[in-house]
Structure 1
Amino acid sequence: MTTAAPGKAPAKLNDLGAYVEGLLKDWDTPGTAVAVVEDGEIVFRQGFGKRNLAEDLPVTTSTVFSIASCTKSICAASLAILADEGKLDWETPVRAYLPDFALADPVATERITPRDLVTHRSGLPRHDAVWYGSGLSREEMVRRLRYLEPTTDLRAVWQYQNLMYLTAGYLAGKLAGCEWEALVQQRLFDPLGMTDSACSVTRAEQMPDHARPYREQDDETKEVPFRNIDAIAPAGAITSSIDDMSRWLLLNLNRGEYDGGRIISEAQMAQLHAPQMVMPTWNKYPESSLPAYAHGWAVDSYRGHTKVSHGGNIDGFSSLVSFLPDHGLGVVALTNKAGSPIPNAITCTVFDRLLGLPAVPWNERFLKDAADVKAAAGAGKDRTATERVTGTSPSHPLADYAGTYEHPGYGRMVIGLKDDALDVRFNAMMGPLPHRHYDTFDHEYQGLGATVPFTFTTDAGGDIVSVAAPLEPTVKDIVFTRRPPAEMQDERFLEGLVGIYDWSGQPLVVSFRDSTTLQVAIPGMPAADLAPRRGTEFRVGDRTGFRLEFVVDAAGKATAVTLITPFGVHVATKS
């Protein structure tokens, strides 16, 4: 344990250190750091346990942790700064600032505002598999929003949505004339003296006093790699220490002022903390009311006292930043273990003590909750096993399933074949794809601790044309369409097929629609795109059973084409 930083801790917190040490033991967690602010001062600030188990390094008050989704309040604050400058209006549609912005819902596209982006009411569910583990740029992810299925109308329901926060940060950068990271550094971190903080997980790993990430796996606490989520930084990539985050707490408790200087106007701070959407979240315990979401903050009543807070979880880290505005009281708790309830247990216990409320056995409650979740997860795996249909086999040789599949929003998925077994490579999903039944294969996804089924579809011609997986459980399965062999989209290859073919005295015309796509005009039928199948064979648009197979010479030039239809086979020679 490190020495507490200067600050006169209230007597009610005298044994808080022993309580925290007990939490680390009960939850097999390497380390945590805690800061408490009260009446404009930091009254408690201390690190506990280890930031690095392998090297036996302690947590200090300047140890850097990922704060994960606690980033969201800082992202919303960056928009408030731009609103103070007159560069942004919360109620002006996003398209007024980003003309190319689009969602799948055309009405939402025209009406969604910056306030909607940061209050989780876009109509979109999470769709986290789009960004988690992907190498996409921020701009590319914003472009792909138009291909993601919504579940509700704009402003109808609160649904947590990281991609909207990415968009908010992208918008802020465009309006500020710099990257979002630079805006936050110059307008928040620098004036607050947050010298340990960065808008990047990868930068944190390079800092000398950083916490290593851990997670529970097979009932053991194991170190995991840092997850590079810098592209989606406005939603959750900030890294910081309790030294710095206590300053962030003071700014919020002081309504936009810090150390005598005004950073955000009081009017904008009031908006940031103002509830906007009821969160359909069931509170198991009576101490907390039904929460509402503000701008990067959740607002509820904790034992009769208004509480503003936000938690965060990402690979290897858990965090919670909370304050009671009517009491000038705030707590930040950071840990280096994923999915840890320690920040919640610490925060609730500190509030109870400083408010003089009867003690609540928070740790005991959370231990029981964790045991119940673990038991339910085991039962779920047992049920998955019983749902398998025995005695089945794939409809094709495994080699036929291998290939590259694509979704316009989610990107590319590669199904590979190695040692007579399939595997999947899609963003953070990488590993074996054993057979479940029929044309469904399973992937044990460690990121979710869940089994994800992948179901392949065969067309009328017997070809595997797509694979679907429930990557966003609140919408239909996400369908990835098989990409054709690269050589069948090569412009030089396609050029050899272009021309006019004599079909019993009538012209059958094959031409370019674009540099990688051919189209065909068949007498009596509208023009249709040609979709590559294999070799020199193409499907004709969406017309079931219609195919064209070209006959080519040694130079790769077509001499004839065979039109295969449900009604017969026809040969046309090149004119």
Structure 2
Amino acid sequence: MVGPVCETGDTFARGLRRCAGWLLALLPLWASAAPVDRHAEARDFDRAFDATMARYRLPGLAVGVIEDGEVVWTRTAGELRARSGQPVTPRSLFKIASNSKAMTASVLARLVQAGRLRWDDPVVKYLPGFAMHDPWVTRHMTVRDLLVHDSGLPEGGGDLMLWPEPNAFTRADILHGLRWIKPAYGFRAGYGYDNLLYVVAGEVAAAAGGAPYETLVRREVFAPLGHDGCRVGEFRLADAGEVAQPHMRDGERNVPIHEDGPAVPAITSAAAGGIRCGLDDMLAWARNWLAPTPAQLQWLGPAQRAEMWQARTPMPISARRRAWDDTHYFAYAFGFRLADVDGAWTVSHTGTLSGMYSAMVLLPDRKAGFVMLTNGEADAARTVLTEVLLKHFTAPAKARSVESYADELAQAVAAKPAHAPVPDVSARHPASVAGMRPWLGVWRDPWFGDVSVCPADGGVEWRSRKSPRMHGQVSLLDGRHLLHWDDPGVDVDAWLDFAGTGKARALRMAKIDPQGDFSSDYEDLAFAWVGPCGATPP
């Protein structure tokens, strides 16, 4: 950005606000907007909704739109569970995944407002056992740092302690394990999305607030804002009403995966991505930010609202974002992302879990926004529908159809050169017990814990002791050891690289697809051999 008010001596956050304000002041975006034809608008929204459902064959979808601080359109379709006959409604609960992060940040903001903590307090003031890999970083990490993805952790570092669920990792395990995860870059030196530090943030809130994280969310967010349908922590499925189940695509069918049992347990990842809400409650959450009532301004005053939406960490801007949205700045705040889209200021976040996707996009200057919730594999669907709805607000003259965006996205994916060829795992063959004999035994990583590489069912099985869904057969492919998961929902398969002899034996892992989900952070694991199969090493 250039201009007389964009001074190079500004801090990033101050300069961003000043420059953005200067640019937006030149754009009378809505000052003389014509009266809105709500019927035509609803037809446009319906058309986009139907086209998204048809193109991506989602099991269920819930979308709502806000203008001038009021909900002007909602739509739901599909089923809570494919072929169940149970319809999705505005009160159906979805996993909002990382849209939980803004609620976690809000709990902390409430505690700051109440004088229970300060943003610049060191984390160790509340959690003396907390430690990062670098002792200096441990001492200087603040509450603020936990929320803005500039810690130096590798992208998704340590996520194997959170997913796949269920697993036996605790929040105490995370506090202990962080010290073993080596940084990928310097502290406060760049952006790298993480989840573990939001779990730590939840524990800071618990220490300062005098109650478990889940209790604080209910007390500080759900109760005062009237989000009576939202759930966090343990609950009974029968008491929650309508609960959407996640799905994956299997050919032409949506297949339910990881379905809830009658008793839904509390999960370690709650503060990073473990809250569930329905469309009605998410729209109420959005309106609280866009057009707060006097009571909501008592809930969280202007000072802490400004803190929540202050740009903290610059984020990379993709070529697609530049082309589609004419974006010039993109930054992380406290549980929100800030960007300019066609000259308009947006505040947003997405949520992604296996078989569950969400999005919330706010345009504060117009008191407008929208929420999308779905219970299927919907990465492309979310991208496309979000773009169509955004253009309705930011650049109607540039409006395109769902089909147009979807075709362009599909073509870009097809044309993208592979970073590295992904091998055909169907060509694998089982590794023999005899051939694996030097590597059989119990292996330990300092943060992930123990895994066994031991004979099973005539072959060799790799099995995690704390993450029970992570088990699979060791095979050979192109002369390398391959770990093929028994549960396809675990995610991408892994190479196993064994080295050394005797007590110096080591095991490293790597995704067979380098572009796979960053939460499968196998590359951060470093196993050492600690004992033979059947032993319980100290």
Deviations 1:30-76 (A, max 9, x none): 11111112222111122122222221211111011110001011111
Counterparts of residues 288-303 of structure 1 (less than 5 Å) = 288-289=326-327, 290-303=329-342
Counterparts of residues 310-329 of structure 1 (less than 5 Å) = 310-329=349-368
Residues 1:145 and 2:178 are matched in the alignment:
yes
| Larger RCO: 1 or 2 (CA < 8 Å, sep 6+) | 2
Assess if the C-alpha contact under 8 Å between 1:399 and 1:417 holds in 2.
no
Distance in 1, matches of 2:345 and 2:206, equals: 33
Identity %: 26
Distance in 1, matches of 2:536 and 2:274, equals: 38
Q: In the alignment, which residue of structure 2 is the partner of 1:264?
A: 300
Q: In the alignment, which residue of structure 2 is the partner of 1:456?
A: 498
Pick from 374, 383, 389: which aligns with 1:350?
389
Pick from 415, 418, 435: which aligns with 2:476?
435
Distance in 1, matches of 2:388 and 2:429, equals: 55
Distance 1:370 1:224, change over 3 A: farther
Q: In the alignment, which residue of structure 2 is the partner of 1:182?
A: 215
Q: Using the TM superposition, give the Cα deviation of residue 486 of structure 1 relative to its aligned residue in structure 2, in angstroms.
A: 8.9
Distance in 2, matches of 1:206 and 1:434, equals: 45
Q: In the alignment, which residue of structure 2 is the partner of 1:525?
A: none
Distance in 1, matches of 2:39 and 2:362, equals: 17
Q: Using the TM superposition, give the Cα deviation of residue 480 of structure 1 relative to its aligned residue in structure 2, in angstroms.
A: 1.1
Deviations 1:120-140 (A, max 9, x none): 011101222232133111122
Assess if the C-alpha contact under 8 Å between 2:232 and 2:266 holds in 1.
no
What is the letter of the counterpart of residue 423 of structure 1? Answer: E
Counterparts of residues 374-523 of structure 1 (less than 5 Å) = 383-384=422-423, 397-426=435-464, 427=467, 428-436=469-477, 440-443=481-484, 446-447=488-489, 449-459=491-501, 461=502, 465-470=505-510, 478-485=525-532
Pick from 314, 320, 344: which aligns with 1:278?
314
Deviations 1:319-361 (A, max 9, x none): 0011001110010110011343333433332332345612123
Q: In the alignment, which residue of structure 1 is the partner of 2:160?
A: 129
Residues 1:171 and 2:204 are matched in the alignment:
yes
CA RMSD for the aligned pairs? 3.2
- Name whichever of 336-345 and 304-313 sits farther off: 336-345
Which structure's CA Rg is the greater one?
1
TM-score (norm 2): 0.81
- Name whichever of 438-447 and 183-192 sits farther off: 438-447
Q: In the alignment, which residue of structure 2 is the partner of 1:156?
A: 189
What is the letter of the counterpart of residue 300 of structure 1? Answer: A
Pick from 346, 355, 365: which aligns with 2:405?
365
Q: Which runs of 5+ in 2 are unaligned?
A: 1-36, 512-517
Residues 1:12 and 2:52 are matched in the alignment:
no
Distance 1:238 1:201, change over 3 A: farther
Distance in 2, matches of 1:44 and 1:217, equals: 32
How many aligned residue pairs are there?
Answer: 478
Assess if the C-alpha contact under 8 Å between 1:200 and 1:239 holds in 2.
no
Pick from 235, 242, 249: which aligns with 2:272?
235
TM-score (norm 1): 0.76
Distance in 2, matches of 1:74 and 1:485, equals: 46
Assess if the C-alpha contact under 8 Å between 2:312 and 2:333 holds in 1.
yes
Q: Greater strand share, 1 or 2? A: 1
Deviations 1:233-265 (A, max 9, x none): 00001100011011110111135x465662111
What is the letter of the counterpart of residue 509 of structure 2? Answer: A
What is the letter of the counterpart of residue 90 of structure 1? Answer: W
Q: Greater helix share, 1 or 2? A: 2
- Name whichever of 207-216 and 169-178 sits farther off: 207-216
Q: Using the TM superposition, give the Cα deviation of residue 476 of structure 1 relative to its aligned residue in structure 2, in angstroms.
A: 5.6
Q: Using the TM superposition, give the Cα deviation of residue 376 of structure 1 relative to its aligned residue in structure 2, in angstroms.
A: 6.0
Deviations 1:396-443 (A, max 9, x none): 533553332111111222223223322222324322221135563333
Distance 1:234 1:416, change over 3 A: same
Q: Which runs of 5+ in 1 are unaligned?
A: 1-7, 491-515, 517-575
Distance in 2, matches of 1:137 and 1:44, equals: 41
What is the letter of the counterpart of residue 140 of structure 1? Answer: D
Deviations 1:498-540 (A, max 9, x none): xxxxxxxxxxxxxxxxxx6xxxxxxxxxxxxxxxxxxxxxxxx
Distance in 2, matches of 1:210 and 1:10, equals: 31
Distance 1:254 1:104, change over 3 A: same
What is the letter of the counterpart of residue 171 of structure 1? Answer: V
Q: In the alignment, which residue of structure 1 is the partner of 2:281?
A: 244
What is the letter of the counterpart of residue 50 of structure 1? Answer: E
Distance in 1, matches of 2:330 and 2:526, equals: 35
What is the letter of the counterpart of residue 451 of structure 2? Answer: M
Distance in 2, matches of 1:304 and 1:439, equals: 51
What is the letter of the counterpart of residue 71 of structure 1? Answer: S
Q: Using the TM superposition, give the Cα deviation of residue 219 of structure 1 relative to its aligned residue in structure 2, in angstroms.
A: 5.9
Deviations 1:445-503 (A, max 9, x none): 844753310112231x5x7833211367889652211222599889xxxxxxxxxxxxx
Assess if the C-alpha contact under 8 Å between 2:433 and 2:459 holds in 1.
no
Distance in 2, matches of 1:317 and 1:325, equals: 26
Q: Using the TM superposition, give the Cα deviation of residue 201 of structure 1 relative to its aligned residue in structure 2, in angstroms.
A: 8.1
Distance 1:475 1:334, change over 3 A: closer
Q: Using the TM superposition, give the Cα deviation of residue 363 of structure 1 relative to its aligned residue in structure 2, in angstroms.
A: 4.3
Deviations 1:157-212 (A, max 9, x none): 11001001010011101110001111110111111111110124875686331112
Distance in 2, matches of 1:88 and 1:395, equals: 56
